[in-house]
Amino acid sequence: MPPFSLPLKLKNPLLLLLVLSMYVQSASGDLLDFSTNDTVTITAENAWEDEQKDVIHFSGQFELRAPDWSLLAESAIVYGKLDNPDKVVLMGNPAMVFFLRDTSKNQPGSPDENVTSSKLEEPNNSKLSIEGSATKIEYFRATNKLKMIGSATLKRKDNMLTSETIEYDVDTDKYSASGKGGINIQVMPKF
């Protein structure tokens, strides 16, 4: 059986072209390889349209790479336009999210001061990586919020949070965590 198959119900010829171009692209690469030039790249073994408009299902090694964020999972459901989804639901063991923030843009008076997180910025570092993993992740792109469920982990700068459930606001760098077994925070001290 080939690693990629299209269901017969695929109605949109543009989607067919996108899915075929995704199949041709290599799925290999570093986990933190982000797309360049505002390109969103999606790869998976299978893709199909839902009965609902602008809902696409992916299965088998799903990867979505954008200039400042990436998603990896065994399967995913994308709600909204592929180049700017409203919501993405990831399932995997674990599913993973990565955010790269340019903290140099977030200086007071900067035109983009409200776009990126300032809580974690460091004067010498203009790039900041935030990583999350869980069995299920819901990423609400419109509000830049995450809900991670099942063995959830959030890594930021010099700390790591683990819990059964973590909700995280990427823009404000605020989280809430709860669940069976409580929470665990590991902080790397500065010397």
Q: pLDDT tens digits for 94-115?
A: 999 999 876 554 443 333 333 3
Greater confidence, 36 or 99? Answer: 99
Q: Which domains does the chain have, with CATH numbers?
A: 13-186 (2.60.450.10)
pTM (predicted TM-score): 0.70
pLDDT at 27 over 90: no
Q: Which residue has the higher pLDDT, 130 or 30?
A: 130
Q: What is the pLDDT of residue 10?
A: 43
Asked whether residue 121 carries a pLDDT value surpassing 90, the answer given is no
pLDDT in the model for residue 191: 72
Mean pLDDT score across all residues of the chain: 76
Q: Count the helices and strands in the chain (H runs, E runs).
A: 1, 9
List the single range of 117-121, 155-159, 165-169, 183-187 with lowest mean pLDDT: 117-121
**Cα(92)–Cα(74) distance, integer angstroms:** 5
Of the two residues 126 and 63, the one the predictor is more confident about is: 63
Given this model, what pLDDT does residue 76 score? Answer: 98
Per-residue pLDDT for 142 more than 80?
yes
Measured between alpha carbons, how far is residue 121 from residues 110, 118, 143, 156, 186 in Å? 15, 5, 20, 11, 19
Q: Which residue has the higher pLDDT, 19 or 53?
A: 53
Measured in whole angstroms, the distance separating CA 186 from the mean position of its chain's CA atoms is 23
53's CB contacts (< 8 A; 6+ apart) are none
Which residues in 140-173 are b (16+ Cβ under 10 Å) and which e? bbeebbbbbbbbbbbbbbeeebbbbbbbbebeeb
Question: CA quadruple 23, 61, 27, 35: dihedral positive or negative?
Answer: positive
